[in-house]
Amino acid sequence: MKFGKEFKRQMVPEWTEAHVDYNGLKRILREILRFKQTKEPGTPLRDLQRRLSLYRAFSGLTRESNDLEAEGDTENQVIAVNMVQQEDSRKFYKTKFLMPSEEGMENEVIFFKKLDDELNKVNTFYKDKVEEMIKEAALLDKQMEALIALRIRVENPNFDGPTSTSDGTADTAANEPDPGSSTLSRGRVPGGKNVEFAIGGENSRNIQQESSDDTERDHIHVSSSGSFGTALAKNVDHKAAVSEILERVKINNTLETPMSTIKGILTDSREEDLSFKKEEVNKVEEQMRHVFIEFYQKLRLLKHYSFMNLSAFSKIMKKYEKITSRGASRSYMKTVDNSYLGSSDEITILLERVEATFIKHFSKSNRREGMKMLRPKAKRERHRITFFSGFFSGCSIALLMAIILSVHARNIMKKEGTLYMENISMLYRQTRTSLKLHYFSKTSSSHPPLFFLITFLYAYIVLHMLMYAANIYFWKRYRINYPFIFNFKQGTELSYREVFLLSTGLSVLAMTSLLAHLHMDLDTGHCFYKTISEMIPLALISVVLLITFCPFNIIYRSSRFFLIQCMFHCICAPLYKVTLPDFFLADNLTSQVQAIRSLEYYICYYGWEDSSRIKNKCHSRGVYNAFYFIVAVIPYWARFMQCLRRLFEEKDPIHGYNGLKYFLTIVAVVIRTSFELKKGISWKVFAFLSSAIATIMNTYWDIVMDWGLLQRHSKNIGLRDKLVVSHRSVYFAAMFMNVILRIAWLQLVLILDVSTFHGKAMSMIFPCLEILRRGIWSFFRLENEHLNNVGKYRAFKSVPLPFNYYDADINKDD
């Protein structure tokens, strides 16, 4: 693979603009090459490159660097790179082209100007990120200081401090279980630099930079001025030092659980006093473990960023030498190596110290286990996934053909089509009680409701999974970092092949049950088989639920539990802190209202007395009708409460407007449902008005707020400045489809009078159209979120810290 493609593939997606513009530099070099071709007309490109290679070989340009140094380093006669000091103490590089002015030289001057701009951009970005990491390391020092003190207090309440050894140093092994003497212990890193990391305090980090004319050398010293660190260093009363630290520390109430949310509302505080319990220590250790793992991933990303950009500078200078036959690579790469990007090693130092600290405090000094947690293995694509996906796809097509032929051979749709569609209306559309629905009679078979119950319930779910698989494929193709946005644990995210495998597997399971139900119900008159056929839908949903909640590590357990967790957060909103996976799932559930209502009928059909199976008694029950309203608004209610939670926490009025949108949708659904049950012209007018208002507001919010399109003064008229998909027509087509499918949703909400067979069949297609619309919405919604992260260079997860430091004296004065 060429370096340009590899460079683009390995970029941090959110830092794309902060990387070297390798393709832009290559375009300038191609202009230089075209000019050289015009000077020798008729000379093919390969012949010209071969001549340039021979010229370099015989002109001495490929001689060893020792020979060049003996001749006075003739490369410096091509370019001279100067370092300019700015007012903010930042250093910028500017290259002066020393060759005499010739025809076509302008492109080479432009090349070095852009090269300088890229070096300054990358250098500045890297330095800013390193400074952020140093500040975060200082915070981690203080957090570890509090954790160690808490460990000592909980595990050894009678701790009196370390005993003195013969050389005057402190020996803590005899008095504390294994708290560690410091957060990041003193050590020497490769390169001979002395680095001391100690537990932080008020002056937790002091960085001294020593620069010379040739290189920028940084000496890092982390002082030990905190009370706990000072106590250890001076061998004083450590029990008092531990108490002093714990007096200035409280537990952060992150409001991430129902109890913490309730406490935060009642006490109007996000801080809790320490309880000094073992459970508290375990909870804090788990939080700190996640904080260290995320911090380590940040450091690795920065190290990879430095390596890839240094390689890009080296590759592009080699291409320049190859095209122009000018020996400027060595001189410029010396400048790059001496820049902050090439000479700074704070990230390497921090990586080694974080590894040592994590292994000691969080993996019981087991290096293998510690590094396994810090560096999870990348997920490998397996050939059996592709094989079984194709196998299940073929089985699904074969089963579908068998079902169609079986229905056609028995003339089911012709003989009892009207009855079936009425049953469908009950099962999936849940239409008016005035419809005379007769589920079973002495002359009718029991298969109609169960037949369609199996068919459409799982069809909605499978279609949604297929849309999600397609979205993953296109997110990956356009380099949208969906695992980071959804906060998936590294190595556990599902690829589009795996989601497609699950959808086809569920399809095979559902259609096998449907075919078995048809044959058992129609091919035999024995009552025993009739009873078994009625239990097939119940057995099918039982198997699906069993697989979903299976605690064993099979069938993507981490992904299943992540889905269950998000689902539980949606149900319990607003008691849980709202994250993007939670409200993204709730938005998708709003497109599965018909499937949720089908689950209600499952309970009615199998949960109540047998008379429910003989004739229609579900709608005659007040409890059923009440839940008929509730299940329709559950997804919208969850999103409404999530918006209120975000409005309460972030104080951003945009969440209030979003909550108003879902409230209007809830009103529209409730009025529509009342119209279904009560009918009447007044209910129809109210249903039309409320549904139209909700449709207009939802359509506007989809396109403008969720997708970020239709921005004023955008360079892409009618869209936005930054686009992931290069073809702008895709966005206009998506907007058009969203409007059309929203109108179809309006048709679904109104439940127009369609008494014909084909009219009711069309009414069941509307939920499928809504699922298709939601799949299109999901792609562009995540694209907009990705672009927002790119604009802010946000490539790291935000992990809350467990402790909060405060000044006890100031609080007492207040």
Task: Tell whether 780 is covered by a domain.
Answer: yes
Handedness of CA 59, 63, 65, 69 (dihedral sign): negative
- Is the peptide bond between 574 and the residue preceding it cis, with omega within 30 degrees of 0? yes
The whole-number pLDDT of residue 61 equals 46
Closest CA to 115 of 262, 313, 337: 313
C-beta of residue 515 within 8 angstroms of C-beta of residue 406: yes
Q: What percent of the chain has pLDDT over 70?
A: 70
Task: Tell whether 6 is covered by a domain.
Answer: no
Task: Tell whether 98 is covered by a domain.
Answer: no
Residues of the chain short of pLDDT 70, as ranges, are 1, 39-77, 87-89, 100-104, 158-238, 254-255, 263-271, 411-455, 521-530, 608-622, 679, 747-763, 807-814
Task: Tell whether 126 is covered by a domain.
Answer: no
Task: Tell whether 559 is covered by a domain.
Answer: yes
The whole-number pLDDT of residue 188 equals 35
Residues whose CB falls within 8 Å of the CB of residue 368, separated by 6 or more in sequence, listed in order: none
The whole-number pLDDT of residue 276 equals 80
Number of domains observed in the structure of the chain = 1
Residue 294's CB: how many other CB atoms inside 10 A? 14
The whole-number pLDDT of residue 687 equals 84
- Print the domain residue range for 548: 383-791
The whole-number pLDDT of residue 803 equals 86
Q: How far apart (Å, rounded) are the C-alpha atoms in residues 7 and 4?
A: 5
Condensed to tens digits (0 to 9), the pLDDT of residues 777-796 reads 999 999 999 999 888 888 88
CA 306 from centre of chain: 24
Residue 236's CB: how many other CB atoms inside 10 A? 14
The whole-number pLDDT of residue 77 equals 64
Q: How far apart (Å, rounded) are the C-alpha atoms in residues 613 and 440?
A: 7
What is the pTM assigned to this prediction? 0.81
Question: Computed over its alpha carbons, how large is the radius of gyration of the chain?
Answer: 34
The whole-number pLDDT of residue 381 equals 75
Classified as helix, coil or strand, 88 is coil
C-beta of residue 600 within 8 angstroms of C-beta of residue 628: yes
Residue 583's CB: how many other CB atoms inside 10 A? 21
Task: Tell whether 699 is covered by a domain.
Answer: yes
Task: Tell whether 34 is covered by a domain.
Answer: no
Distances, alpha carbon 693 to alpha carbons 36, 662, 663, 697, 700, in Å: 65, 11, 11, 6, 11
Task: Tell whether 247 is covered by a domain.
Answer: no
Distances, alpha carbon 644 to alpha carbons 323, 427, 655, in Å: 61, 33, 7
